[in-house]
Structure 1
């Protein structure tokens, strides 16, 4: 089996989960589930980033210790994963001993090699972003962009990592590895960033300014700054698991591609003599109702509350169906309800219940044997083979929204087949030929339902399991074997009904 190690970014625990967190988890979960279905040995990591100045300040504002503060918020992210049916194998917290030890080992190794040095720094610092700034970061009028908040000029000693020494290597690596950054057009963005000389990277903060961090192993008066702490989680989680490193995919938001993941991280690994991840997949941003998400204005989607109202698979489906991986997209209740009603309830849900209802009505709730296929049956089977052979490559290229569209088109065609064959009319006939055709049509409906939904398994796993259950079917261990049209459902007892996607009332 091929090892496939995939990660999300770890979420900063200075606030509750939002739609962007949910999307990244669901997207990564769909990739992980699909790779498992394709036969890979998948290991899926997510987690939380729990150090830094913002957390120290928030903890003080609440009158609690930082550890108690993060212990109160990290479980919200774990709960979100559980509620979204995320199949992660591990959840790492950067406050765990296993992570801290690997970070310290890595820092000591690089310090011993001369890759880390101490120097005095004088310049501008953004507390909000927890980063030093340069003149090029200013607006044209000399002011600082609002994103940086209050900017102060400071002078202090810190430790620096020799980032610039590896700039030529990284440029060559990106140019010679076209799949390192996905979508590929984002590699141009990284190379543009690398067209200017890289400054060495400040990797520490003095303890008198920031206490909440991992102490440097070679100087306990300083703590590790975000890069060697947060980024190292991808490696620290599997450092004791042979065969998993390097990661196959890091799935991240486009805002943290440059410089953290596409510049700092590969250079850190190269300096430490560790392999670079195969690929970094940068996804887009979600807006809500055409505007930036904002809790203060109420323009916000709370994932767990949404799941409570509409079900987990409805949210998973919409997130994957609506966004083209790598591009931005907008979440609106109106568009969600269009997808929910037209595609899930009226199309897929309708097919499920028509199949169950007519099998109960005309075949004593048992899937009958199919006779020789006529032209409509042959056409539907041919469409299935075409759909299957198109969807798998689309999923392999992360075009899940297009793959879902093709799968839904097959469901639509199956509903059209039912209208054409009209089993309710055949059931009224006493002609042997009509009765034989009725049996064939019922068997065809059930098999098409089984097959069509098998393509949605990674996206709406709970619903697919329920559909298999009401068809009296247990899937085998080899997913590709599930994609062949045959008579495996013959003789199965089916349920009377199954309401997967009840019609919701519009909610704000």
Structure 2
């Protein structure tokens, strides 16, 4: 494939990024990096979906305009993807003027074709899902079948898209294109839905104003586009559809990465819109599953929603990427367990991959002054090289099919193969026995296997791959990929000393606030009641800040020494650097949750939590007592 276009969903700006958003984006980033490395001209887009009644209501609740609110949340997504070094080519916002023009052009073309007509709509609308339902689809009590929230009856003038017209064409597409929707089980669900009969789709609203207006040619100023029509058109806006941009050459090579909850919109509505526009349908629509936390559904009220920024900050971005891609088969639901993450870091990344690199470099230093010559490796260790080639082919095939867990599993079989070869052939004994050539050939085998591992890992763990390549003295690029992966060449290396790739995580906590967002504020009717005995378990003390400094390598963490009236000051890390400078906090008395289990953040021990509160404007204030009290005084 000489071209490749991959998209994430554009994320709805009703809330800040969570692990599901990160998962979609990291998958898309991985396959985009892979296709670039394999020499394909690649285009990768992501962005935010910013219209609709839900956004209008959320903004009003914050006392802000919809655009002001959307600006703030969209910025959080872009900041996180930039922090994660996501290699997107385009970040779209549906409030961009170029997108509004594209959506209006598409609407006009479908209208002129006769696929859009005016009528009146009456039905049940879920604001949260931005979706209409018939009465037979509702749960008991008139609730949304997707999210369980109450729906409202909507009766208003509307424009409709003739979705029913495309029922047969969609079924034909599904039948003739085996992998147009993956995994297979999700495709079967879509086919079943369409075979149940399609009804024409209401695609405009008049009861609110926050959306893309209809084309001026229709002279309908009170109508705005249905948010899903507006949102899906973004995939064309990105390529310059309205301007007949040269980037439209990528459209024939489209892969959409989506969550399973929005598959229907992408696999039914979107192809029908494209058929109406006379455009080719996507090559593949890939739907992944949801994430739970330690076996429980994530909920802000429970305070167990995994914050991707904090998780990556605590355990390292590369380890976080590895865990998400490795832990669960694509399409299935996954569970985010910090214990499982720590196990993978320690056993696979530190003991497996990191140990292989340090052993290989160490042997090259002892046996050949870091010069690693490939001579003899093929002749002496051909069986190992052939086995590695089998795993390489399986890894490539798995990644092409979006089976990221199998792709990484095959790579780490090569890691295990190399480590086993060292144990089996015992190069230190070969040196003692005077068989230095065999020992050096084994080092060359390991170095060549490591080079292949690095190239294969580069899409998923780019920093790690670069560290391995730098240590061995070769480049992660298309030329190396062609030579070492596709042509299976052996090369020589000039290695250098290196620090450990991964450090073991010693604090094996099963749950830590270090990776989760705070529970959302609740009123008395919403909050789960607890007993006085449960509250008594929280030991909150007053303490004075003795020292405060920024944490090297982090833009958000501050490191405190706090006097809690104990023998030694407590060291506590807190992510509040954007709100305070270290100097203004020294001498301040704060409230500390003192019996929180210690945890490591960026390899430094944190022995408690400084309590704070944030208002609707995002201003954060550290909690304290009205007047200064003795350090160690119990608050409760």
CA distance in 1, matches of 2:348, 2:176: 42
Higher helix share: 1
For residues 396 and 152 of structure 1, do their structure 2 counterparts lie closer, same or farther at Cα, with a shift above 3 Å needed?
closer
Q: Deviations over 1:389-412 (max 9, x none)?
A: 332222222222222212211211
2:628 maps to: none
* Displacement over 6 Å in runs of 4+: none
1:277 maps to: 282
2:84 maps to: 84
Match of 2:398 among 394, 398, 404: 394
CA distance in 2, matches of 1:497, 1:36: 28
CA distance in 1, matches of 2:201, 2:161: 5
1:109 maps to: 109
Deviation of 1:445 (Å) = 2.3
The number of equivalent residue pairs is 499
Match of 1:322 among 320, 327, 346: 327
Q: Deviations over 1:243-271 (max 9, x none)?
A: 1224521111111112x111111111111
1:293 maps to: 298
1:262 maps to: 267
Deviation of 1:485 (Å) = 5.2
For residues 486 and 242 of structure 1, do their structure 2 counterparts lie closer, same or farther at Cα, with a shift above 3 Å needed?
closer
Deviation of 1:461 (Å) = 1.4
Match of 2:258 among 245, 252, 266: 252
2:58 maps to: 58
Is the 8 Å Cα contact of residues 182 and 279 (structure 1) preserved in structure 2?
yes
1:214 maps to: 212
Is the 8 Å Cα contact of residues 352 and 498 (structure 1) preserved in structure 2?
no
Summarize the alignment of residues 360-371 of structure 1 with structure 2, pairs less than 5 Å apart. Answer: 360-368=365-373, 370-371=375-376
User: Structure 2 length normalisation: TM-score?
Assistant: 0.75
Is the 8 Å Cα contact of residues 80 and 309 (structure 2) preserved in structure 1?
yes
Of 182-191 and 22-31, the range deviating more from structure 2: 182-191
Q: Deviations over 1:255-296 (max 9, x none)?
A: 1112x1111111111112222112211111111111111122
2:180 maps to: 180
1:378 maps to: 382
CA distance in 1, matches of 2:474, 2:196: 59
Match of 2:483 among 481, 484, 495: 481
CA distance in 2, matches of 1:190, 1:371: 55
Is the 8 Å Cα contact of residues 465 and 476 (structure 2) preserved in structure 1?
no
CA distance in 2, matches of 1:92, 1:108: 22
CA distance in 2, matches of 1:473, 1:283: 35
2:37 maps to: 37
Is 1:497 aligned to residue 498 of structure 2? yes
User: Structure 1 length normalisation: TM-score?
Assistant: 0.93
- RCO greater where, 1 or 2, for CA within 8 Å and sep 6 or more? 1
Match of 2:336 among 322, 331, 338: 331
Of 57-66 and 440-449, the range deviating more from structure 2: 440-449
Deviation of 1:368 (Å) = 4.3
1:118 maps to: 118
For residues 144 and 6 of structure 1, do their structure 2 counterparts lie closer, same or farther at Cα, with a shift above 3 Å needed?
closer
For residues 374 and 273 of structure 1, do their structure 2 counterparts lie closer, same or farther at Cα, with a shift above 3 Å needed?
closer
Unpaired segments of 5 or more residues in structure 1?
none
Deviation of 1:361 (Å) = 2.9
Match of 1:421 among 417, 422, 425: 425
1:96 maps to: 96
Deviation of 1:167 (Å) = 1.5
Deviation of 1:314 (Å) = 0.7
For residues 401 and 353 of structure 1, do their structure 2 counterparts lie closer, same or farther at Cα, with a shift above 3 Å needed?
same
2:2 maps to: 2
CA distance in 2, matches of 1:132, 1:477: 48
Match of 2:412 among 408, 411, 427: 408
1:20 maps to: 20
Of 131-140 and 174-183, the range deviating more from structure 2: 131-140
Of 410-419 and 184-193, the range deviating more from structure 2: 184-193
